Amino acid sequence: MDLSKEKGLIEKAKKDPEAFGKIFDENYPKIFGYILKRVANLEIAQDVTSETFLKALKNLWKFRWRNIPFSAWLYRIANNEIANFFRKRKYKSVSLEKIPEPIAVSNPSIEIIEAQEKLKAHKDFLALQEKILRLPLKYQEVISLRFFEKKKIREIAEILGKKEGTIKSLLRRGLEKLREKFNATF
Amino acid sequence: MEEENLIKKLEEASLPEIEIPSHKRKLKRVLLNKYFREKRNWEIFNILRKVVPVGAIVIILIILISNNLIFPQYSLAKAKEIAIRDPQIKELIEKGAIIKDVKILQDKAYVLVQPLAGAEMEAEEIKTGLKTEGEFLGALAEVDLKEKKVSRIEKVTPQFSPLAEGEKEKAKEIAENNPEIRKIIPEEAEITKIMPVPFSQLRLIKEKNSVRVVPEQIKEKRVRIIYELNKNQWEGEIDLIEEKVGGVKFLGETEE
């Protein structure tokens, strides 16, 4: 979606829940995917994603357009929620259980088992992520956004609200630290 | 490990798109159902923030809360909550409808429930109370705020804008030139009816002593053309604004 279209949709979403629904549909896959790559756990990823979108809805009317994609704002909220999760390690999950599933088109538990299988099959990724998770959060964020989300330095700067130079040095130092973790293993 | 190797490893690391559709659906419904409450909270906060200085806010809040005025039972959120507790409304929401609009009139609230745009709901699917034939456009619930219950629910009457002769001709012309219609509907089939399609997106407006369902202020003009040949019927839907065919379907045989 181009920026001017997205700007219009966000203004509409402040008045119309359906427009908000469209924004959700557009952004859910990438935000869920990003959180899953960061936490490498399906249940936690679901909870953190729920919390991210609930925060986004709560703050939707505060959102001011800055000519950058709306997803950058969502990534930033997601980062805060991931940080909250790691800080507390005990996440108060949003209960979606109270909301009944409409006439079942799929079985949620089968979906989770299948997704779990898919995740487990990517051992290389999980091994790498396990090392990244040992780094301080500021390095985890830049490394994940740069390599897993394939974001440019400028985009990472927009998401994290930092200067491009800061991102470059965070990335450099993060890689150094990650390399040390690998070398310590061998 | 060398830095280049590490970068290569990171660049090559991938995870396929993993989705849990049931989580997505549930979360979307939770968000859409929280939408009006959050909007209302923001509006109240915004008004207070702009109009009243901080010290005064504290004093007014204390007075209003103690008098149960700031969160009156007539609030939109309260009306919505009462509506959602009603079994019929709950059933509609479970089937994919959302609360589209709420208006308060004295001690009554009016809650408009509609299917999400693009999601057609057949009225016959709705088990309780609203069982009628045809496309389900929405329901209007009257909430008694004193009794804290839904006092009446009625199916929304379709809203049409009449078709001018010129519009009928234009619809015919679009249909005649459409390859999909020409492919599906036999050339010998005759047009038996041309009728307007009801507005799909509705809202509520408050009048002096009543609340009325009106179409959203969007440009929408759709026409349904019914074709017939040897008791078989087809339907073509034409969008007169976009000047295109929205869909063609076989309706079955006409009843004797």
Query: Between A and B, how many CB-CB pairs are < 8 A?
Result: 130
Which of A96, A102, A176 is nearest residue B30 as measured by Cβ atoms? Answer: A96
- Alpha-carbon span B138 to B121, nearest angstrom: 9
pLDDT-derived band at B232 (thresholds 50, 70, 90) equals: confident
For residue A183, the surrounding DSSP H or E stretch is helix A164-185
* A122-186 has the same fold as A1-105: no
The answer, for B9 touching chain A at a CB cutoff of 8 Å, is yes
Pick the closest to residue B245 from B219, B228, B226, B222 (CA basis).
B222
Do B174 and B243 touch, CB atoms closer than 8 A? Answer: yes
B51 at the A interface (CB within 8 A)?
A: no
What is the domain partition of chain B in residue ranges?
A: 21-155, 165-198+219-253
Nearest to B212 by CA among B120, B101, B123, B132: B101
Determine, for residues B21 and A147 on separate chains, whether the beta-carbon distance falls below 8 Å: no
Work out the average pLDDT over B114-118. 73
Assembly ipTM? 0.84
**What ranges do the domains of chain A cover?**
1-105, 122-186
- CA dist A66 and A181 (Å) reads 38
Q: pLDDT at residue A15 above 50?
A: yes
A143 CB neighbours in chain B (<8 A) are 10
Give CATH for domain B165-198+219-253.
3.10.450
B116 part of contact set with chain A, CB < 8 Å: yes
Select the more confidently predicted residue: B223 or A97. B223
Q: Which CATH number fits domain A122-186: 3.30.390.50, 2.60.40.4070, 1.10.10.10, 3.40.50.720?
A: 1.10.10.10
- SS3 of B142, please? strand
pLDDT digits 0-9 by tens, A116-155: 777 777 788 888 888 999 999 999 999 999 999 999 999 9
Out of A98-102, B18-22, B176-180, pick the least confident. Answer: A98-102
Any CB–CB contact under 8 A between B46 and chain A? Answer: yes
A1-105 CATH choice from 1.10.569.10, 3.40.50.300, 1.10.1740.10, 3.40.30.160:
1.10.1740.10
* Residue B124 near chain A (CB below 8 Å): no
DSSP readout, B54-79? HHHHHHHHHHHHHTT-SS-TT-HHHH
- How far is C-alpha A152 from the geometric centre of its chain's CA atoms? 16
Q: Residue ranges of the alpha helices (H) in B146-219?
A: 165-176, 179-184
Segment B23-81, tens digit of pLDDT: 999 999 999 988 988 888 888 888 877 776 777 777 777 776 665 555 554 567 888 88
Between chains, do B22 and A111 touch, taking CB under 8 Å as contact?
A: yes
Task: Give the E-state strand segments of chain B in sequence order.
Answer: 97-105, 108-115, 121-122, 135-136, 139-144, 149-155, 190-196, 202-206, 211-215, 222-229, 232-239, 244-253
Measured distance CA(A37)–CA(A148) in Å, rounded: 8
